[in-house]
Structure 1
Amino acid sequence: MDEREFLAERFEEHRTHLRAVAYRMLGSLSEAEDAVQEAWLRLSRNGVGEVENLGGWLTTVVGRVCLNMLRSRVRRREEPLNPYVPDPVVDFAERTSPEHEALLADSVGLALLVVLETLAPAERLAFVLHDMFSVPFDEIAPVIGRTPAATRQLASRARRRVQGAPAPDTDLTRQREVVDAFITASRGGDLEALVELLDPDVVLRGDGGATGPSTFLRGAQAVAQGASAFGRLVAHTHPAIVNGVAGAVAMLDGRPLSVAAFTVARGKIVALDILADPERLARLGLR
């Protein structure tokens, strides 16, 4: 086995972990793959050298690549007038696949990823690497060009923002019951039943991409009216698990029209995140 084959074998041992880091950092499955590939290119060019902890080194490399990618993004995706819904991880079976479970460890729902999108790049890096992957602040600080103390402050500030993200109920069966009832009420245009299923402060984010309509609604009445207006689309929905929670995929002639993730907390829908961007849906490879 030559050195390149040896490095490739060592790298594959860490690929799943690195994809999970990049997905949390970028909220994009394709960009996460690009970041992991860039880490491999750097490893293959530079070799292991004096690196004792290859997994830790690769994690910080991916973090640095993702940080640069975040900084290069032009538009402010967190603005309510132009909502951005991160790439969903979709399963059509009754449970999340083992591959997706590894990607979504720590319950990385779309609602949480939406909050991560509102963080500054350095805040996001500090929070993701430290709070989600236990990377010490001493190792994160050089990546963002801050002192360990300043890096700790960034993570703390990000943590306060993230704590506001709704935590879904853990019972997937109960989640599905609520989502199925919502779909049934939407199909029938039952406004009263919809309001009953929604938290008073529920938020709906619909991302139609550059060419489609985008929507931001807040409050049970507004979301219920919006849902009842799309009753025809609901007729084409299929149950799915989206980022580990109950969701639905609308398909027409084998083509995905939208992916919806429902965050159900205390038996009520508190967030509804819908991706309807045709270009990004096509890249998900849904069938």
Structure 2
Amino acid sequence: MTDESIDGEAIAERRHLVSLAFRMLGTIAEAEDAVQETYVRWYRLSDQERASIDSPRAWLTRAASRVCLDLLGSARARRESYIGEWLPEPVPVTAFGAPHEPASSDARDPLDRVSLDESVSTALLTVLESMTPAERVVFVLHEVVAVPFREIAEVVGRTDAACRQLAASARRRVRSAAARRVSREEHDRVVWAFAAAAQSGRLDELIAVLDPEVVLRSDGGGRVSAARRPVIGADRVARFLLGIGQKRPEVQLHPLQTPDGLGFAMWLDARIVGVVTLEVGATSVREVRLVLNPEKLSLWN
């Protein structure tokens, strides 16, 4: 294989790498930075070293994962100084195109593995934020990309057994959160009821479709106006949402499918200025997430 064909094969993996890094880091900008650094490491290899690599995809996946592991520590520190609430970046359902088939898999029920749609949902990415950097990297590599533990151990500098423990711990957190969610059909039914109540402008109707302990989080990143702290409780959240509609009637809300299920795009002057995703219980909305930071809307415009 020529140097040009080897490099071409490596460059063709860019979308896969951005997809991988996004799941590990939670924003497209950070994922792009990680992928850029990964390719810097690739081109630092000699021609002979690159020619000796049997699978550029596997090499790049491991290298990108190591970069993300390094970045996760500093990312956590940056989020502690973030202005207001920090939320993972919402992405369109078509953000990363058709996924590749996993390279390999352990012998267990494929239904036990996180679906690729779910793995870029705000709900799951929020759970991943609560994990240690090593847990998150192990979880994404094994549960989403299906990399064997022996290869993951090389990435995180742990033993196979330690990586299995990290994966089990991460899986328990994800399952605990998933147990609270309803089917996609039920989610969308409740969200349509929420939309109708919000459009009615009636406080009592909106309160009726909100969980009594509902939480609203809005992420403006200090770039645009947003609530600096969570809004908690059905009455407060309902008043907050109706207040937005009254103060900014020029903003139009349009339904759209997101990796979290039915959500909404906020349109102003032919641009999306916000994305709304929701977490739903059996009969009501439990969490409302508003991402307004324009730096986290790059894929929507």
TM category, shorter: 0.7 to 0.9
User: Take 1:74 and 1:261, find their aligned partners in 2: how far apart are those partners?
Assistant: 23
Q: Which segment drifts farther, 263-272 or 98-107?
A: 98-107
State how many pairs are aligned.
277
1:276 corresponds in structure 2 to 292
CA contact (8 A) 1:240 1:246 kept: yes
Look up the match of 2:94.
97
Report the AA paired with residue 32 of structure 1.
A
Residue 69 of structure 2: which of 67, 70, 73 is its match? Answer: 67
Does residue 263 (structure 1) correspond to residue 279 (structure 2)? The answer is yes
2:13 is paired with a residue whose SS is: helix
Task: Classify the secondary structure of the residue corresponding to 1:165.
Answer: helix
Report SS of the residue matched to 1:86.
coil
1:156 corresponds to: 168
Give, in angstroms, the shift of residue 56 of structure 1. 2.3
SS in 1 for 2:131: coil
- Structure 1 residue ranges without an equivalent (≥5): 91-95
Equivalent residue for 1:58, pick from 57, 60, 63: 60
Shift of 1:14: 2.9
Q: Where do 1:1-287 residues align within 5 Å?
A: 2-3=2-3, 5-46=4-45, 47-73=49-75, 75=77, 77=79, 82-90=84-92, 96-97=93-94, 99-100=96-97, 102=99, 105-108=116-119, 109-166=121-178, 167=181, 169-171=183-185, 175-211=187-223, 212-213=225-226, 214-232=228-246, 233=248, 236-243=252-259, 245-281=261-297, 283-286=298-301
For 1:17-40, what per-residue CA distance to the aligned partner results, in whole angstroms no more than 9, with x for missing partners?
A: 222211110111122122223222
Instruction: Work out whether residues 186 and 230 of structure 1, in 8 Å CA contact, stay in contact via their aligned partners in 2.
Output: no
State the percentage of identical aligned residues.
39
Amino acid at match of 1:223: V
Alpha-carbon shift at residue 102 of structure 1 (Å) = 3.5
| SS of residue in 1 equivalent to 2:88 | coil
Runs of 4+, deviation exceeding 4 Å? 98-101, 174-177
TM-score, structure 2 normalization: 0.79
Q: Residues 146 and 98 from structure 1, CA distance in 2 versus in 1: closer, same or farther, beyond 3 angstroms?
A: closer
* Cα pair 2:187 2:280 within 8 Å, conserved: yes
- Asked if the contact 1:247/1:262 (under 8 Å) is kept, the reply is yes
1:115–1:165 contact (8 Å) kept in structure 2? yes
Distance across 2 between alignment mates of 1:77 and 1:218? 21
- 8 Å Cα contact 1:182/1:197 also seen in 2: yes
| 1:163-206 residue CA offsets vs partner (Å, 9 max, x unmatched) | 233445223xx644533432332233323322332344433221
Give the letter aligned to residue 57 of structure 1.
Answer: W
Q: Tell me by how many angstroms 1:260 deviates.
A: 0.7
- Say if 1:56 and 1:156 are closer, same or farther in 2 by CA, change over 3 A: same
SS at match of 1:126: helix
Q: C-alpha offsets along residues 49-76 of structure 1, whole Å, 9 cap, x if unaligned?
A: 4433432222111111111111222537
1:250 is displaced (CA, Å) by 1.2
CA contact (8 A) 1:241 1:247 kept: yes
In structure 2, relative to structure 1, the CA distance for the partners of 1:168 and 1:112 (3 Å cut) is farther
Unmatched segments (≥5 aa) in structure 2? 101-114
**Distance of aligned partners of 1:101 and 1:247 in 2 relative to their CA distance in 1, 3 Å threshold:** farther
The one-letter code sitting in structure 1 at the alignment partner of 2:258 is V
Contact 2:215 / 2:286 at 8 angstroms: preserved in 1? yes
